[in-house]
Amino acid sequence: MSGYHAGFASIDITPPLGTPIGGNFRGDYASRGVHMPLQANAMVVHHGETAAALISADLLVVTEAMAADIRGEVEQLTNIPCAHVMVAATHTHSGPATLELVEGSRASNDVIAELSRRIASAAAEANNNLKRAQLTIARFDEPRLSFNRRLRMKDGSTRMNWESLNLDDIDGPLGPTDPQGFALTARHDGRIAGMLVNFALHPAVLAGDNWDFSPDWPGYLREALHRYAGSRAPIVYVNGAQGNINHLDAWDPRQGRGVKEAQRIGYVLANDVASALAAESELDGPLRIASDLVMLHKRRVAPEAVSAAQTRLAARGARAVAGQEDGIPEWYFDRELVEHAARQNEKVVAETQVIRIGEAVLAGLPGEFFTEFGLQLKQESPARFTLPVGLANGALGYIPTPEAIVQGGYEAQTWRYNQFEPDSGEHIVRSTLNLARSIYS
């Protein structure tokens, strides 16, 4: 057996009712109930003198400030260096709002501080559960659940698959999906002690008409895999490069939302994982971690575009957010564009991070990266298995491809969650690949 020691843990992080829910624009953000408890699930791996921790939390995003607090707390509790800790959000749209999009839509500082404390405690508990472990990895393919949400219309325009569209007007999707997922499993004395699952798909099945806390479909993935494992072995779900990927099939009129659809997705993926374990590969080799900082520039906007937005805002008068399941109202984009123009010369430092476990690499992406970037990482990485981990260590927002910005549509709009120059994703992927190559050289 290899020289790995691994430990897992799961912590309930459900905040008090009334805490704002993030993920959709609403007239009322206050949570009203709990559909399923929210969790932080952690995996800690030791090999020789090196240790690494990965924590996944049922949140829309983990902001840079939260990530810094969590990683610092993990270091104090475990002596695992901050730079060896990766913390990611599952991106459930039914979790507490850790990012403010409009006034009053963010959880309080006290709630966020308590969330950070609990998330860090999951890594500490996982570190206490360390045992000598066999680590394996399995690859699976699931092409039936994910769809590129950007659609090319026959008139040349770009629309989103959540809009009410005439199917005869659709030419096709404006990008690929990534059907490939991974399951990294740890066994103590032959029994599954925990598992990490990686798959790129928005957990936005429960949308703006839901006011209950829920992990969305990842909760059902964990529920089904708990049954398979025969225990309460923690399941660490990490999203992939899912910025332009959701579950909506524009060509299927039966396509739904709600609890049943979330359950269907989670159970299908769990079955994929269980089936893939029949052909898993044992991991062996060093544990290495590397990180880097990348300077990003905010997107420049034309003065005439700002002036036009100001004119439209003046003509419309005051506006309030109304409940809606997807997208953002046009008046809000206008307001954001005007505000962005005042800060467009600012620069932002983004962190890239990779964790190598033998022939597998976990590549942290600090935002919602388009799936093309995840595919590029998999293709060009020196590792046999490369797992893009989206929404890791920060919340840059959407990182679309340069082509998508030219094509227009939702992700071409400039606002606080989509504000960087078109080449930003390329810079981050290049940094991530260089890190992966450095820990394989």
Full pLDDT tens readout for the chain, 441 residues = 579 999 999 999 999 999 999 877 777 788 899 999 999 999 999 999 999 999 999 999 999 999 999 999 999 999 999 999 999 999 999 999 998 877 778 889 999 999 999 999 999 999 999 999 999 999 999 999 999 999 999 999 999 999 989 999 999 999 999 999 999 999 999 999 999 999 999 999 998 788 999 999 999 999 999 998 877 899 999 999 999 999 999 998 777 789 999 999 999 999 999 999 999 999 999 999 999 999 999 999 999 999 999 999 999 876 766 665 566 788 888 988 999 999 999 999 999 999 999 999 999 999 999 999 999 999 999 999 999 999 999 999 999 999 999 999 988 889 889 999 999 999 999 999 999 999 997
> How many C-beta atoms lie closer than 10 Å to residue 179's C-beta?
16
Q: Residue 399 gets which letter from DSSP?
A: E
Q: pTM, whole model, 2 decimals?
A: 0.95
pLDDT at residue number 98? 95
pLDDT at residue number 69? 98
The alpha carbon of residue 338 and the mean position of all alpha carbons in its chain are separated, in whole angstroms, by 28
pLDDT at residue number 331? 85
Alpha-carbon distance 285 to 383, whole Å?
Answer: 12
Alpha-carbon distance 26 to 178, whole Å?
Answer: 30
pLDDT at residue number 324? 59
Closest CA to 221 of 245, 240, 238: 238
Closest CA to 251 of 144, 326, 376: 144
Alpha-carbon distance 371 to 265, whole Å?
Answer: 19
Asked if residues 280 and 185 have their Cβ atoms less than 8 Å apart, the reply is yes
Using the structure block, give the residue that is written with the tokens 């096709």.
172
- Please provide residue 205's backbone torsions phi and psi, each rounded to the nearest 5 degrees: -75, -40
pLDDT at residue number 259? 94
Asked if residues 96 and 61 have their Cβ atoms less than 8 Å apart, the reply is no
pLDDT at residue number 439? 95
pLDDT at residue number 328? 76
Helix (H, G, I), strand (E, B) or coil at 118: helix
pLDDT at residue number 321? 64
- Please provide residue 306's backbone torsions phi and psi, each rounded to the nearest 5 degrees: -65, -45
Helix (H, G, I), strand (E, B) or coil at 65: helix
Asked if residues 89 and 96 have their Cβ atoms less than 8 Å apart, the reply is no
pLDDT at residue number 326? 65
pLDDT at residue number 325? 56
pLDDT at residue number 323? 62
How far is the CA of 156 from the CAs of 170, 174, 176, in angstroms? 10, 11, 18
342: Cβ contacts below 8 Å, ≥ 6 apart? none
Alpha-carbon distance 199 to 101, whole Å?
Answer: 27
Alpha-carbon distance 270 to 256, whole Å?
Answer: 20
Pairing of strands 191-199, 180-188: antiparallel
The alpha carbon of residue 72 and the mean position of all alpha carbons in its chain are separated, in whole angstroms, by 21
Asked if residues 354 and 366 have their Cβ atoms less than 8 Å apart, the reply is no
Pairing of strands 33-34, 212-213: parallel
Closest CA to 217 of 177, 257, 277, 276: 257
Asked if residues 412 and 299 have their Cβ atoms less than 8 Å apart, the reply is no
